[in-house]
């Protein structure tokens, strides 16, 4: 099942930045990389639930502001020796409009 | 089609090169590896603990057979290459296997030297080089009683100790009178010999082996002086020779080793060589740290980045014999141009000798207590001027004025001693990770265990554990690169920013060939700071390269909410300000209101969206950001001074306010705190601040480099001045010099210790021109910087996206 929602324009997120989509249950961090790729993951680090949306975005990764865990935006998995995973949502950009699939 | 990289030699240097290459250019080559031992790559240095029964072969494997498969590397284990055809670009192994190459890496290591005395080829005469030799020795311990080791060097003594652990009677035969004469002077050599004798080892010093006797198997040794001993096993440990026959046969230029240039290329540019088989600038190396430095450079060149150069290594040695602590490094003998410092205590078995030249440490021998070894080694490699710490040098880093951590002897620490208090990592966890994961560097230990990865105060301890676990093979990089995205150091990057006028992070990355497109958090934050501190007029701030606190102008708390701390100039406040804070706290239902250590009031637990509203209310009451969230000037703490206090000598509160007005909203390499005390009773604790003023009757004492945090450090007294104007000028100059010289995330305390107090004194006190220059640059930068970031965001329309969600969905 897919459940696509429109999030907003690509320009509304800074390059190497992130904005938050709030739902009633949890927040989703939507990222824009330096190459204008867009990714969406649950806004909670697998380590201590830090807000990944507040981290530094580099390559296709984000580094959590709380304890510097680095999370792959493609897989939601912690990189390096750290282990853990956060949910990933499929995201797409069409004519500058970002949509994500809430599944 | 991918190019083919073939490596001959499946040892530590070669495989380290392959691993480095896979890290930076994973898909560049089809890789094939030949190794003449039937194993994966193991940590050869840890063979001594295997022999002593302290570790198993499995413990010391670095790359298992599975690893090669996972990384798509074709491994020919147990196949010895006997020909390189440079015209056809092929290598051929003894069993006929042929592989083509585009690039070839020769990492054939070294061979033990076998003294060609009569009888050297008898059964029971071996070297100590590989797993097979260890097996032979272990077998001998089961069936025989007496072993002899020829060679009283590092390896020989470790072999002797290992066999002794299994109950053998071991004699060490050594040609000269000092054990380990390449690493020890005669005093420490004698102390070592005494300790080993107490453990039961026998010695024949000054003995030249003439013949190995026996009928088929060895049964004894005859010496040149006509005496002889009986023995069932002879281990030759008299040195190694670079293994270069294959390269010689292929016509590559060799002298004592395979000659390579600074990019690790042989005379055939398609053929690289690393490790113990090479000769670089006339030197050959037999320790692992230099080999790893070579590996890094070679991988860099193979990946066609072409920026790394290997420029030789300073090496250190540590004996891995349990119960004996010994460390040596550099030129520890000295000559007429050097000075020495010696401490000797025969009863406690302590000996320390440091060799100095031109106020720099160039060599060290430590016996009995080696916990300062890593620090001395670091001083040697960095070439730091030690005149400022000369009187404490011999006693070690722990006598430099730090308190808190350190002081414990690593070997006496039990495995369950907590080393890293932030992340709860014990010594045993670290040792376990080093041995089981095959870690060699501080960064690797941090990644795997988190030890020293938070506040960093236990870094020294973790380095000592690394050193004591790995022995001589602990790698301290000579000049640490800024981060993993570059080979350049902080200094090199800052120099390039100044010289080439680089005003954006992108310019720096392009100009210095960064390895990553958009960097990592470490370099992004550093570069953003560096370009702005060098070019405050021209450089643009990049908010995405700032930590969230500096982007949101508030401190992120553990639950994702934020804190708000308005500035209180010089620690003074008014009923109106207090009322405004109280109103905000009630209006936005702020749960916790806290008095901070910097004489201010903090509001805790604020949702991010509310921040601009709170700032607006505080702005309306005349308050601005306290920058309590930034690598920035934080507060100026004061006492009430002569205005109220019967002991006060000057108006410390008013001076504090002036200093805060001068310095607020300035970005720094790290947080920066000031204080002004009205008299030497020092109630404002000025002597643990980055810049502290202690008022005295005759004027003002200016103190620098203090810290009340992780490591308590009292300030150094910079100088005395007589007017407030001078205080302001020295303060501005000191701050600007710190801003332009320190590494990002280096506080003034470690910075002062790194560059030396006298350098700062020269720059700020003795050189009026420099002082005025730096103060002027500070004032110019402040003109641009002194804007309240709260106001800009609360009403000025700056970065609205930062404080609002992009969408709210009800599911």
DSSP-derived pairing of the beta strands B271-273 and B103-106: parallel
Least trusted range by pLDDT, from B57-66, B291-300, B306-315, B522-531: B306-315
Q: How confident is the model at residue B531 (pLDDT cuts 50, 70, 90)?
A: very high
Residue B476's pLDDT band (cuts 50, 70, 90): low
Of B517, B524, B809, the CB nearest to A5: B809
Distance CA A72, CA A89 (A): 13
Query: In this predicted structure, what is the pLDDT of residue B398?
Result: 67
CATH number for the A4-101 domain, one of 2.60.40.10, 3.40.30.10, 3.40.50.10610, 2.102.10.10? 2.102.10.10
A26 contacts on B by Cβ (under 8 Å): none
pLDDT of residue B407: 44
User: What global pTM score does this model have?
Assistant: 0.70
Q: Work out the mean pLDDT of chain A and round it to a whole number.
A: 94
pLDDT tens digits, one per residue of B564-592: 999 999 999 999 999 999 999 999 999 89
Residue B251 burial (CB count, 10 A): 11
Third-level CATH fold of B551-625: Sulfite Reductase Hemoprotein; domain 2 (3.90.480)
- Of B77, B60, B59, nearest to B68 by C-alpha is B77
What are the Cα distances from residue B689, in Å, to B225, B246, B600, B622, B705?
A: 69, 62, 16, 27, 7
Span(s) in chain B for CATH 3.30.390.30:
325-399
- Beta bridge partners of residue A41, listed in sequence order: A29, A88
Distance CA B58, CA B39 (A): 11
Q: Which residues of B touch A56 (CB under 8 A)?
A: 521, 524-525, 544-545, 547
Q: What was the pLDDT predicted at B462?
A: 86
User: A23 and B811 in contact by Cβ < 8 A?
Assistant: yes
Residues of B in contact with A54 (CB under 8 A): 548, 552, 556, 560
Flag whether pLDDT at B477 surpasses 60: no
Contact list, B545 vs chain A (CB under 8 Å) = 16, 56
Q: What is the pLDDT of residue B595?
A: 96
Q: List the single range of B248-257, B263-272, B360-369, B650-659 with lowest mean pLDDT.
A: B360-369
Task: Verify whether the Cβ–Cβ distance A27 to B805 is below 8 Å.
Answer: yes
> Is the pLDDT assigned to residue B43 strictly greater than 90?
no
Half-sphere exposure of B247 (CA within 13 A, CB side): 34
Q: Which pLDDT value is given to residue B216? A: 87
- B158 pLDDT above the threshold of 60: yes
Topology of domain B325-399, CATH? Enolase-like; domain 1 (3.30.390)
Q: B593 falls in which pLDDT band (50, 70, 90)? A: very high
Strand B592-595 and strand B73-77: pairing?
A: unpaired
Q: What percent of chain B has pLDDT over 90?
A: 64
| B278-334 pLDDT, tens digit each | 999 988 887 777 888 899 899 999 998 867 788 887 777 777 676 677 888 888 888
Mean pLDDT value across residues B19-46: 89
Q: What is the pLDDT averaged over residues B546-553?
A: 96
Q: Which fold has domain B3-110+242-302?
A: FAD/NAD(P)-binding domain (3.50.50)
Has domain B633-785 been given CATH number 3.30.413.10? yes
Chain region(s) in chain B for CATH 3.50.50.60: 3-110+242-302, 125-238
pLDDT value at residue B601: 97
Report which of residues B741 and B409 the model is more confident about.
B741
**B615, HSE (Cβ side, Cα atoms, 13 Å):** 26
* Residue of B440, B310, B340, B331 whose CA lies nearest to B380: B331
pLDDT in tens, B79-107: 999 999 999 999 999 999 999 999 999 99
Whole-number pLDDT of residue B584: 97
Architecture (CATH level 2) of domain B410-473: Orthogonal Bundle (1.10)
pLDDT at B172 over 60: yes
The percent of residues above 70 in pLDDT, for chain B, comes to: 96
Which residue of chain B is at minimal alpha-carbon distance from A16? B544
Q: Which residue of B has its CA nearest to A62?
A: B521
Say if domain B125-238 classifies as CATH 3.40.50.12780. Answer: no
Q: Decide: B281 and B259 in contact? Cβ < 8 Å.
A: no
Find the closest chain B residue to A67 by CA distance. B454
In chain B, CATH 1.10.10.1100 covers: 410-473
What's B801's DSSP letter? G
More confidently predicted of B397 and A18: A18
């Amino acid at each position: 099942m897919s459940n696509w929602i429109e999030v907003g324009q690509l320009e509304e997120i800074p390059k190497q930045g992130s904005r938050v989509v709030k739902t009633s249950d949890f927040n989703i961090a939507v990222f824009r990389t330096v190459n204008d790729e867009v990714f969406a993951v649950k806004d909670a680090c697998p380590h201590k639930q830090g807000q990944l949306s507040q981290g530094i975005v580099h390559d296709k990764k984000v580094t959590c502001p709380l304890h510097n865990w680095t999370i792959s935006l493609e897989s939601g998995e912690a990189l390096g020796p750290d282990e853990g995973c956060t949910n990933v949502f499929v995201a797409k950009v069409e004519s500058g409009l970002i949509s994500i699939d809430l599944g | 089609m991918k190019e083919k990289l073939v490596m001959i030699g499946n040892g530590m240097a070669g495989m380290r090169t392959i691993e480095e290459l896979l890290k930076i250019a994973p898909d560049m080559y089809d890789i094939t590896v030949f190794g003449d031992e039937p194993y994966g790559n193991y940590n050869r240095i840890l063979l001594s603990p295997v022999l002593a029964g302290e570790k198993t072969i499995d413990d010391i494997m670095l790359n298992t057979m599975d690893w090669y498969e996972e990384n798509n590397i074709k491994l020919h284990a147990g196949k010895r290459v006997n020909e390189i055809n440079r015209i056809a670009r092929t290598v051929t192994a003894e069993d006929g296997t042929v592989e083509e190459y585009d690039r070839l890496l020769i990492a054939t290591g070294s061979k033990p030297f076998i003294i060609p005395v009569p009888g050297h080829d008898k059964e029971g005469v071996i070297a100590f080089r590989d797993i097979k030799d260890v097996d032979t020795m272990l077998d001998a311990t089961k069936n025989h009683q007496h072993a002899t080791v020829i060679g009283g060097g590092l390896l020989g003594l470790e072999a002797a100790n290992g066999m002794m652990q299994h109950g053998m009677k071991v004699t060490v035969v050594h040609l000269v009178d000092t054990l380990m004469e390449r690493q020890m002077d005669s005093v420490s050599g004698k102390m070592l010999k005494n300790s080993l004798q107490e453990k039961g080892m026998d010695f024949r010093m000054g003995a030249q082996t003439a013949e190995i006797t026996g009928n088929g198997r060895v049964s004894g040794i005859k010496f040149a002086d006509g005496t002889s001993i009986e023995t069932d096993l002879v281990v030759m440990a008299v040195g190694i020779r670079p293994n270069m026959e294959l390269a010689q046969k292929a016509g590559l230029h060799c002298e004592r080793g395979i000659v390579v240039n600074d990019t690790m290329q042989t005379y055939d540019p398609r053929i690289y060589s690393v490790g113990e088989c090479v000769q670089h600038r006339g030197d050959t190396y037999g320790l692992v740290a230099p080999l790893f430095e070579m590996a890094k450079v070679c991988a860099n060149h193979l990946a066609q980045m072409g920026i790394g150069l290997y420029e030789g290594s300073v090496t250190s040695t540590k004996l891995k014999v349990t119960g004996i602590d010994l460390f040596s490094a550099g030129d520890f003998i000295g000559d007429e141009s050097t000075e020495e410092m010696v401490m000797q205590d025969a009863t406690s078995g302590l000996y320390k000798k440091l060799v100095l030249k031109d106020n720099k440490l160039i060599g060290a021998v430590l016996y009995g207590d080696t916990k300062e070894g890593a620090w001395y080694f670091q001083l040697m490699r960095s070439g730091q001027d030690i005149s400022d710490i000369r009187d404490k040098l011999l006693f070690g880093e722990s006598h430099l004025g730090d308190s808190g951590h350190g002081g414990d002897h690593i070997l006496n620490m039990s495995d369950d001693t907590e080393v890293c208090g932030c992340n709860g990592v014990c010594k045993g966890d670290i040792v376990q990770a080093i041995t089981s994961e095959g870690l060699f560097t501080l960064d690797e230990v941090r990644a795997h265990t988190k030890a020293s990865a938070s506040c960093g105060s236990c870094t020294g301890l973790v380095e000592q554990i690394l050193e004591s676990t790995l022995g001589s093979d602990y790698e301290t990089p000579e000049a640490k690169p800024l981060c993993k995205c570059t080979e350049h150091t902080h200094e090199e990057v800052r120099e390039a920013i100044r010289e080439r006028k680089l005003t954006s992070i992108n310019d720096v990355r392009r100009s210095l060939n960064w390895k990553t497109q958009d960097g990592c958090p470490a370099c992004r934050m550093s570069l953003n700071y560096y370009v702005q501190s060098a070019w405050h007029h021209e450089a643009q701030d990049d908010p995405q390269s700032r930590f969230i606190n500096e982007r949101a102008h508030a401190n992120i708390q553990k639950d994702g909410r934020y804190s708000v701390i308005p500035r209180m100039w010089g620690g003074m406040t008014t009923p109106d300000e207090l009322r405004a804070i109280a109103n905000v706290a009630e209006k936005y239902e702020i749960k916790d209101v806290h008095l901070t250590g910097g004489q201010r009031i903090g509001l805790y637990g604020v949702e991010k969206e509310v921040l601009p509203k709170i700032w607006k209310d505080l702005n309306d009451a005349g308050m601005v950001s306290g920058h309590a969230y930034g690598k920035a000037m934080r507060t100026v703490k004061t006492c009430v001074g002569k205005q109220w206090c019967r002991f006060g000598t000057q108006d410390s509160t008013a001076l504090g306010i002036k200093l805060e007005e001068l310095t607020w909203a300035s970005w720094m390499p790290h947080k920066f705190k000031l204080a002004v005390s009205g008299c030497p009773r020092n109630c404002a604790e000025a002597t643990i601040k980055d810049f502290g003023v202690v008022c005295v009757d005759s004027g003002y004492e200016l103190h620098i480099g203090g810290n009340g945090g992780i490591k308590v450090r009292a300030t150094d007294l910079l100088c005395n001045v007589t007017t407030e104007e001078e205080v302001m000028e020295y303060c501005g100059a000191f701050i600007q010099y710190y801003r332009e010289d320190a590494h990002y995330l280096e506080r003034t305390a470690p910075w002062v210790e790194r560059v030396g107090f006298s350098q700062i004194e020269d720059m700020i006190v003795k050189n009026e021109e420099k002082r005025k220059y730096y103060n002027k640059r500070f004032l110019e930068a402040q003109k641009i910087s002194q804007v309240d970031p709260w106001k800009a965001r609360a009403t000025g329309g700056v970065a609205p996206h930062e404080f609002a969600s992009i969408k709210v969905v009800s599911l």
